[in-house]
Amino acid sequence: MLLTCGASAGLAAAFNAPFAGVLFSLEELHKDFSTDVLLSTMAASITGDFISRMVYGLGPVFDFSSVAPLALGQYWMVLLLGVALGLVGAFYNFCIGKVQDLYSYIPGQFLRTLLPFLLAGILMTVYPAVLGGGHSLVELVSEDQLIQSLVFLFVMKFIFSILSFGSGVPGGIFLPLLVLGAVVGSICSQAFQLVGFEALPQTFVILGMAGLFAAIVRAPVTGIILISEMSGSFSHLLSLSLVALTAYITADLLHSKPVYDILLGRLLRRQGICMEEAREKVLIEVPVSHSAAICGTPLRELNWLGEALIVAIRRHDQELIPHGDTVLQAGDVLVLLCDEAKSHPLYEAIAVHCKT
């Protein structure tokens, strides 16, 4: 819980995005909704954001509040942008694994760190735009730029980000991938303008950040709220939702794993830990609806639970100890314990037997 609260507070303080900090904890870290986690992370996120604003001020990270939302007739461009971002996100995650494989052939952490260090020194002399946090870079690509320079900037930023991350000295992944998304959005904006369509770079920069976040991290709701809070406006919520969903589906169809799952798997394999053994157990609270098929059924007849266990039944204001003769009633809340790795088929079974 402390780790979850720390991650929530850190994200909120870094990006002035308290709601995104809470959603990241629920969507990415726990991958489940829990009242205890919600309240704890809300307290940590709000506290971290409050202290950050006391020091740095109340303004959003990027001031795009005056940018007008897209017209509904332009949403086909959002779909195309989402597909492009999904492809870029899947390629980014693929490159993360491959570059880490290449770095494993270099003996010693010092030598692995030396390569991005020397590359940063060279880039500082010949192309300093790709260095730094990337805040100024997002503002730069929000203006009209030559598409050739934007493509070159993307390639250099992509390579430098991958080489840095693969060496084990990433310096963070959130802002670099947001910058990459902004550049992709600006490139698509310029491409649409070249073929005669109106496409404001600032709007596509906002959409690009949310879409690439959804494709790489695979946390679309967090990405939508994060960019809304960072840009200081919720007027783009519909287009952000569409681009995040499209990018997510595109990356999923390509069977690209989320970046944090990739990194966790590699870390556990280096430590000799089986991925299945490392999965935590999760508690799932399942309300029994009035039209559910299991109403009036004793627990012994529930044959769809698999390896999940019913650890408690909450009925009104009482908590029952479950046994085989306990008959389920509408309004009961089942508390199930299961392996996180096997929770997906359980959710599907719950939707069939408890919701309808």
So what's the pLDDT on residue 272?
Answer: 64
Question: Quick check: 64 pLDDT over 70?
Answer: yes
Q: Which long-range contacts (CB under 8 A, 24 or more apart) does 216-219 make?
A: 216/89, 216/92, 216/93, 216/177, 216/251, 216/258, 216/259, 217/28, 217/177, 217/258, 217/259, 217/260, 218/28, 218/248, 218/251, 218/252, 218/258, 218/259, 218/261, 219/23, 219/24, 219/27, 219/28, 219/258
The most confident of the ranges 2-6, 68-72, 207-211, 230-234 is 207-211
So what's the pLDDT on residue 170?
Answer: 61
So what's the pLDDT on residue 279?
Answer: 54
So what's the pLDDT on residue 211?
Answer: 93
Q: What is the largest CA-CA distance in the chain?
A: 75
SS in 3 state form for the chain? CHHHHHHHHHHHHHHCCHHHHHHHHHHHHHCCCCHHHHHHHHHHHHHHHHHHHHHHCCCCCCCCCCCCCCCHHHHHHHHHHHHHHHHHHHHHHHHHHHHHHHHCCCCCHHHHHHHHHHHHHHHHHHCHHHCCCCHHHHHHHCCCCCHHHHHHHHHHHHHHHHHHHHHCCCCCCHHHHHHHHHHHHHHHHHHHHHCCCCCCHHHHHHHHHHHHHHHHHCCHHHHHHHHHHHHCCCCCHHHHHHHHHHHHHHHHHCCCCCHHHHHHHHHHHHCCCCHHHHCCEEEEEEECCCCCCCCCCEHHHCCCCCCCEEEEEEECCEEECCCCCCECCCCCEEEEEEEHHHHHHHHHHHHHHCCC
Question: Quick check: 78 pLDDT over 60?
Answer: yes
Say how many Å lie between the first and final Cα of the chain, rounded. Answer: 33
So what's the pLDDT on residue 92?
Answer: 92
| Range of lowest pLDDT (63-72, 123-132, 290-299) | 63-72
| Range of lowest pLDDT (86-90, 119-123, 278-282) | 278-282
| Range of lowest pLDDT (24-38, 148-162, 206-220) | 24-38
Higher pLDDT, residue 180 or 140: 180
So what's the pLDDT on residue 88?
Answer: 94
Question: Quick check: 171 pLDDT over 70?
Answer: no
So what's the pLDDT on residue 297?
Answer: 83
So what's the pLDDT on residue 277?
Answer: 47
Question: Quick check: 243 pLDDT over 90?
Answer: yes
Question: Quick check: 145 pLDDT over 60?
Answer: yes
| Range of lowest pLDDT (8-17, 51-60, 101-110, 266-275) | 266-275
So what's the pLDDT on residue 271?
Answer: 63
Q: What is the mean pLDDT of residues 202-230?
A: 89
User: 335 φ, ψ to 5°?
Assistant: -110, 110
The share of the chain scoring above pLDDT 90, in percent, equals 17
Question: What's the mean per-residue pLDDT of the chain?
Answer: 82
